[in-house]
Structure 1
Amino acid sequence: MGKGGGCVPSKKRPVAPPPTSEDAAPPAPDAPPPEVLSPQLPSSPPTARKVKVFIVFYSMYGHVESLAKELKKGVDSVEGAEGFLFRVPETLPSEVLEKMGAPAKDVSVPVIGAGGEELLEADGLVFGFPTRYGAMAAQMKAFFDSTGGLWREQRLAGKPAGFFVSTGTQGGGQETTAWTAITQLAHHGMLFVPIGYTFGAGMFKMDTIKAGTPYGAGVYAGDGSRQASDTELALAEHQGKYMASVVKRLALA
């Protein structure tokens, strides 16, 4: 009997030793390898509000616009996310565009203001543009140049952003057009979100000509008469889904 009056057991109960690695269940034999070694789309926590993904693009002949609309479809298919289309201001006069055979712009897509103040309302951004000698078209560059006020105060810092592009040929800048644009994001402090190989088997198909890279969706325009293929459109829709999932994960963390 102790001083406090409690009962002390005559001997301690044995404590079971922790399980060793030998005790762990072995993995299932002959488990089939995954068809494509690509990361899964990030899971997103539930939210009471929809995150906004702005798809901001320039399109002269409609090829980039066709991808932009597929991206929006992909964003809208993700619960808790909504995509919005914006066109950057045109820098060429209408008479020049007419001589170049450029079709009329879709007036249902609003033109984003110079300076890019609207970008502040977005949780995530995707920029689309055709190539000019392996880099973004002048119209998109002019828009980025107009965002100096946002850059000075780093008001876009931390926003996730991605790219999609159009080129005339297979070697015309599907990759360089995207990765030379990364400098715009870096100076604003934005976070570049590539799609990698998350499209799975579609990224490895070699039986048809298709645009698109790990940097983002793409289309081959050829002489302007070629339209986006089903595979190119599917990749753009996938990028919209993937981007929306990433944006939700970051915005609601």
Structure 2
Amino acid sequence: MGKGGGCVPSTSRKRASLVKDNPDPNPVVNASENAHDPQETTILEKAIEVDSVALEEDQHPPTFEDASSSPIGATTGKLRIYIVYYSMYGHVEALAKKMKGGVDAIEGVEGVLFRVPEILSAEVLEQMRAPLKDESIPVINAAELTAADGIVFGFPTRYGAMAAQMKAFFDSTGKLWTEQKLAGKPAGFFVSTGTQGGGQETTAWTAITQLAHHGMLFVPIGYTFGAGMFKMDEIRGGSPYGAGVYAGDGTRQPSGVELALAEHQGKYMAAIVKRLVKV
């Protein structure tokens, strides 16, 4: 893809193997990806239609006090951190699974993995040489977000901002917005880019608007990873906004330090949620 969008997936790798979370800059592939796929249009139109009906029916949306009748930590059992991601080539998924391990390492908290719906057709995905999805990880719908005590969203970059699949998912949360169901809920981000200047920070930064409109609490990791955030001896994705991975030309796998940063973010988010419960 162009400016920071990504690089060419390796043609030497099989479709079911891990390549990268950025689209192929091949003009033919780009034409297919950027075309108005009927399936994508239908999904987005339905989301807009549902949100419009919600706005018309709810002329007097509830206040935050009404929406927060079940405060964070009110559920029995463990606190739940939802790790909601979109991964086209597997890099974001690798971080997500490692992040779940970090969340699970904190007593009283568990991580739950979810995929957002795909909006590209099977034909387009095949042309883009995207591997098959991990069917063991369920697809989430917007309404399910309310059950989480905290959420970490993961997605690849498209020109320095989130991929369309994740944006379509956020666009489907209109009813939750009118009812303020996500207000006060802590959330964070982790990303994948094809190059060092491809959006490790801007992809998360531009996504903050989604949280702001919902009244959610953005939880960056800052420099809590310690010395690992300052080393210059190897290429490393991630930033104070959240964990990250460089996909490179498709042959590069997430490094040990990138995976460690994702695990750290899971632990950090879990600790923050526990702290909020105690307040």
Q: Report TM bin, short chain.
A: 0.7 to 0.9
One-letter code aligned to 2:113:
L
One-letter code aligned to 1:85:
L
Corresponding residue for residue 230 of structure 1? 256
The size of the alignment, in residue pairs, is 206
Asked whether 1:133 is paired with 2:159, we answer yes
Match of 1:216 among 242, 258, 263: 242
Secondary structure (helix, strand or coil) at the match of 2:258 reads: helix
Distance 1:162 1:155 in 2: 17
Cα deviation, 1:192-237, whole Å, max 9, x if unaligned, reads 0000000000001100000000000000001222110000000000
Corresponding residue for residue 92 of structure 1? 120
Shift in Å at residue 252 of structure 1?
Answer: 3.6
CA contact (8 A) 1:169 1:220 kept: yes
Greater CA radius of gyration, 1 or 2?
1
Cα deviation, 1:90-126, whole Å, max 9, x if unaligned, reads 000011101111000000000002xx11111000000
CA contact (8 A) 1:56 1:86 kept: yes
Shift in Å at residue 153 of structure 1?
Answer: 1.1
Q: Which runs of 5+ in 2 are unaligned?
A: 1-74
Secondary structure (helix, strand or coil) at the match of 1:158 reads: coil
| Structure-to-structure mapping, 1:200-211, within 5 angstroms | 200-211=226-237
Greater share of helix: 2
Secondary structure (helix, strand or coil) at the match of 2:77 reads: coil
Distance 1:231 1:205 in 2: 10
| Structure-to-structure mapping, 1:38-57, within 5 angstroms | 49-57=77-85
Q: Which runs of 5+ in 1 are unaligned?
A: 1-46
Regions of 4+ moved over 3 Å: none
One-letter code aligned to 1:84:
V
Shift in Å at residue 190 of structure 1?
Answer: 0.2
CA RMSD across the alignment: 1.3
Shift in Å at residue 179 of structure 1?
Answer: 0.5
Asked whether 1:77 is paired with 2:109, we answer no
Distance 2:250 2:174 in 1: 33
Tell me the TM-score normalized by structure 2: 0.72
Q: Quick one: percent identity of the two aligned structures? A: 78
Cα deviation, 1:55-95, whole Å, max 9, x if unaligned, reads 00000000000000011000000000000000000000011
Secondary structure (helix, strand or coil) at the match of 2:275 reads: helix
Match of 1:198 among 224, 242, 246: 224
CA contact (8 A) 1:123 1:251 kept: no
One-letter code aligned to 2:143:
E
Secondary structure (helix, strand or coil) at the match of 2:196 reads: coil
CA contact (8 A) 1:89 1:139 kept: yes
Tell me the TM-score normalized by structure 1: 0.80
Secondary structure (helix, strand or coil) at the match of 1:251 reads: helix
